[in-house]
Structure 1
Amino acid sequence: MNSAVRPALSAALGGCTIVIAVDRRSAELATALERHGATVRHAPALTIVSHIDDESLVQATRQLIDAPPDVVVATTGVGFRGWMEAADEAGLQTALHDALSGAQIVARGPKARGAIQQAGLTADWVAESETSEELGSFLLAEGVAGRRVAVQHHGSGADGLDELFAEAGADVVSLTVYRWGPPPDAAAVARSVAQTAQGEVDAVLFTSAPGAAEWLATARREGALEAIVERAADRRLLLAAVGPITAGPLLDAGADPLIAERGRLGSLVRAVVTHFGGGAAPSLDTAAGRLELRSTAAVLDGQVLPLSRASLSLLRALFEAGGGVVARAELAAVLPRSGGAPSDSAHAVDVAIARTRDALGIPTLIRTVVKRGYRLDVAFPEGPA
């Protein structure tokens, strides 16, 4: 079994807990993140339900066979392949291939183009930006008035292409090959939004607009949305989207997500790795090196140092003070399950500080300020970068 384990690529995501609100290809995405040191939690807010057995899809396919399209729009690879599989199940594959072979075929990206080629057809044009907007603009510039246009949609089909082409005078045949269904584990989604709001998560990744919208809706229902948006605004949480369409619900919620340059999973992973490994996360320059905090560890001068929940709570309070002194009473308030008399609280803080120093391996990183409290030994005490 060990021989099948892929080697680590980097430790850029060491100490990071990442929620992936993804159903399709979630295992592939998780593996890619884990190879950079991340701990991944799965919380898909929606599932993909195939339309292969839907009579409406088969009926639309028969209509295209009877009256072949002038233009075929493929928006996703998985959707186009699903359409071909549905035609095969209905005994229509050869007839559909013949009907599409004379059409102009355009693809929203390389995955859709690959599915077109797999079906034995040729893509005449591919959107470089991998967006529906570019695809729509291209066809409108060519002119669609009086042309029969078949549009294979992704997920909910809410990409606006049907309306765009119909308003321009096209005869539109709409094909939704898969649709969104309920989450496989609603409790896991609810837990993920609570953990994200409480600071137990470093990043949440989204690969579809409907999935992002539903995850945020769960956060709203659980009373966690405001805290999540605040954490993202303070750069304590990264919200990342595979492309601008997916980012739409996040922007509508008031968040400013990281958007991958190209609408592909590999680009999304690279963006997240670059964020945490390239210095974009909040940091402090200390006497022991650059310090960053993750949900389960500190990263000091590039070294990942796993810490207990108590140590992380203390270190985060000191980190947020940016080198300023934090009183024992303030530190006692952030300790998990802290309580008791003031003298007991002070003692608990002193013990927890000692354990944190041991875990960090550099006792002088946390300085004792006599009769006042503790502070981090920072190079520039004006605050976190």
Structure 2
Amino acid sequence: MRNWRAKTAAVAVVSALALVTACGSDDNGSSDNGNGGGNDNAGNSSEEGADGSGLSGTITGAGASFPDPLFQEWIAEYTQNVEPDVTINYQSVGSGAGVEQFLGQSVEFGSSEEYLSDEALAEAESGRCEAVQFPVVFGAVVIAFNDPALDGLVLDAETIAKIYDREITNYNDDAIADLNPDFDLPDQEILPVHRSDSSGTTFVFTNFLSHEVSDWESKYGAKKEIEWAEGTLGGDGNQGVAQGVQQSPGGIGYVNQSFALEAGLPVAHVVNEDGEAIAPTLEATSAASEEAEVPENFQFTINDIGGEGYPIAGTNWIFTYTCDYDENTADIIKGFWTWAMESDRADELAEELGYAPLGAELKERVLVEIEKTNSGS
């Protein structure tokens, strides 16, 4: 597996340069190519790619940090070994900012762990044309700890909710002890760490709590951004939460599994709908994803996970438009996401990082949806 964090930093520099280029004026003072994507490179690039496919140019996407480790791996594989004349910049700015940039037409595609609502779809159509949204991968949101001795600590939804509501403030609380009779729990104050930005990971986390805990639903709800209880610590992006947990004695935080793996953080086993304490493994995430009921419009959440499934599981969606891309840009968008759905190598990279690829039947549905990009309908 590549050092994706080092690569992320490098891509971020390229992204910044690409945006400067996209936003800069030409010799006549013009700064907008009329394509709504905020990036002139794709439309002005040469027609022929190095492999004869005709794909050549640059596209930019923005959104969730949840899939960023995987997206950087996919991008590197695709642009180095499949389409070497294509450049894809993905900015890990959080789901909320990604949706805003997509609706504001400053990027070619957006990304989030919460699907576009009917209201957001109407906003997209009023400003441009119909939006296309499709899922590309499943992943787990894990509960990570600062203390290695807590690896495998069992928590349920009620206990997690009370920790983040500051009703439970010490690891030796009776509620935690009851779930972990074999643990020697420390007399340690708990410091909950949360996302400070508008976040799809927060949506997945709070959706789980809202679905399982009525008090959480009434007080906080399921959102990308909420008003957290006093005595909690905010971090920017999944990486910021992981760092906050690492640097804070007593720290506990919710992050995408790949960030916990990369940081070597100990994680909780979370009780699912059948009362089973489940470790956040790839197999457990796959089991959860198989229980998802995916409607025709792809607007869904993953709830009521039992069996061997890990209960805090989420989906990443990609957003594109049905019009206004130049043909080359549209071909790059469709080419990359089609490769991500069809390539065995793309699935291998996802699994290495702890993400669960879509099932074969769902992939076929997604491939049809991808083709709606720039279709005019």
TM-score, normalized by length of structure 2?
A: 0.28
Q: Quick check: which has more Rg, 1 or 2?
A: 1
Q: Identify which of structures 1 and 2 has the higher relative contact order when contacts are C-alpha pairs closer than 8 Å and 6+ apart.
A: 2
